[in-house]
Amino acid sequence: MTVLLVMLGGAVGATLRYLIDTQVRSRQRSRFPWSTLTVNLLGSVVLGVLTGLTLPAAAESATHAALGVGLCGALTTFSTFGYETVRLFLDGARGAAVGNVVVTTVASVAAAAGGVALGGLLG
């Protein structure tokens, strides 16, 4: 049953990622990968809130399997983040590449921490 919950969450997360990516890219005017940053921040907040709501049993719950592993796992993307960072660097946009690493890392950790705090307040 847990595998099915992960699959369902993953289907929703992948679909959301596609829709968000399409919308952000249609409004984007710079080379900076705003759509990837957007989905990574959103996924970090959602996983943080979920974790804050379900601590200490977060990793063992069916909700965590469906939403944390499935939805957030499919919504967020480390591989695209890595590829886009390398692509920026190779294209000569070294400042944007470094900025992408710093902004994505710091903002994603802050979003997850804020989500955990918010989840703890709501739970």
Which residues are annotated binding-site positions for Na(+)? 73, 76
Nearest-angstrom CA–CA distance, 63 and 53: 11
Q: Which residues are annotated as a binding site?
A: 73, 76
Distance of CA 87 to the CA centre of its chain: 20
Q: Which segments of 28-70 does DSSP mark as H helices, in order?
A: 34-54, 62-63
Nearest-angstrom CA–CA distance, 74 and 8: 10
Nearest-angstrom CA–CA distance, 120 and 8: 26
Tokens 């997360």 correspond to what residue?
A: 13
Is 78:42 a contact under the CB 8 Å cutoff?
no
